[in-house]
Amino acid sequence: MRPLFRVMRGCDRFTFIGGAWKKYDTNGNYIGEWIGTQRVLKYPEAEQRYIFELWCPPENYGTEEQWNQNFRECIDGQFVDTLGPYPGNGEYELLSHLGILERVYKDEKTGKVLRKEFVPLTEVLCDAIVLTAKMNKELPARIKMEAARDRREKEEREKENRQIDMIEDMSRPDWAKAPHIIVPGCEKKTSGGIVLA
């Protein structure tokens, strides 16, 4: 049995990607393409960072037939596994927003990322990430139930408001029914007449 979580350096985490690859000579000149699978960094954006991964069993990836149907491509008559071979023994995946260990500085007004910094790996940091990940695994069912309840309540409120609007609209004379109501001061003048603001 494998550990549920693991920490690695991004520069040590590789995967296989298939496709058409450019070839270069020793001087860096383009000399053509080759088709096949190549071992590449799995998270190139985290090459100089620690990464935190969660173990995913093979059933998370569907069956091997489904994998081949979704991730096998024919390029110039040659079949290539675009995401590498089927992970029949399971695979480690980046733990969503907790996966790349770095300090991110953002502009408070725009939310734009200003810079990112390396974060050293400590036992306290690892414990905090594991605790957060375990808590998040338990959240989805509860969050789904709360979201469904909120959605039902919102739909009920909207239905009730529509019924109130219909009742109020029925009690008005025909000339005052929506959408023909013009409130003085809220209209805009155009070359074609009056338009509501």
Q: Quick one: 26 and 104 in the same domain?
A: yes
In a shared domain, residues 28 and 116: yes
Considering 71, 86, 120, which residue would you say is the last residue of a domain? 120
- Rounded Cα distance, 97 and 119, in Å: 15
Indicate if 85 and 139 belong to the same structural domain: no
Judge whether 153 lies within some domain: yes
Q: Is residue 176 part of a domain?
A: yes
Whether 178 contacts 169, CB under 8 Å: yes
Tell me, yes or no, whether 132 and 172 share the same domain.
Answer: yes
What are residue 49's DSSP bridge partners?
A: none
Per-residue pLDDT of the chain (197 residues; tens, 9 = 90+): 788 888 999 999 999 999 999 999 999 999 999 999 999 999 999 999 999 998 889 998 999 999 999 999 998 899 999 999 999 999 999 887 678 889 989 988 888 989 999 989 888 988 888 888 777 665 555 565 666 677 788 888 888 888 887 777 676 666 555 554 455 555 555 444 544 44
**Could you tell me the residue range of the domain that residue 15 belongs to?**
5-120
User: Which tokens hold the place of 181?
Assistant: 């109501």
pLDDT of residue 90: 92
Domain presence at residue 50:
yes
**Domain count of the fold of the chain:** 2
Which domain-ending residue is among 75, 101, 120?
120
Whether residue 197 lies inside any domain: the answer is no
91 and 12 in a single domain? The answer is yes
Q: Are residues 80 and 132 in the same domain?
A: no
Give the residue among 2, 14, 82, 83 at the shortest CA–CA distance from 46.
Answer: 14
In a shared domain, residues 162 and 188: yes
- Does residue 104 belong to any structural domain of this protein? yes
pLDDT at residue 128 in the model: 87
Q: Is residue 87 part of a domain?
A: yes
Are 30 and 114 in the same domain?
yes
Q: Give pLDDT, residue 195.
A: 47
Q: Using a cut of 0.85, tell me whether the model's pTM lies above it.
A: no
Contacts 24+ apart (CB under 8 A), 126-132: 126/7, 126/52, 129/5, 129/52, 129/95, 129/98, 129/101, 130/5, 132/98
Residues 131 and 187 in one domain: yes
The answer for residues whose C-beta is within 8 angstroms of residue 23's C-beta and 6 or more apart is 30, 31, 32, 33, 34
Residue 115 and residue 47 in one domain: yes
Looking at the fold, whether 57 and 127 belong to one and the same domain comes out as no
Q: In this structure, is residue 77 part of a structural domain?
A: yes
Q: How far is CA 129 from the centre of its chain?
A: 19
Nearest in space to 118 (alpha carbons), one of 190, 18, 16, 47: 47
Instruction: Give, rounded to a whole angstrom, the gap between the first and last alpha carbons of the chain.
Output: 66
Burial classification of residue 125, based on how many CB atoms lie within 10 Å of its CB (0-12 exposed, 13-18 middle, 19 or more buried): middle
**Does residue 31 lie in a domain region?**
yes
pLDDT at 79: 92
Examine the fold and report which residue of 87, 120, 153 is the final residue of a domain before the chain moves on: 120
> What stretch of H or E contains 27?
none
Same domain, 63 and 158: no
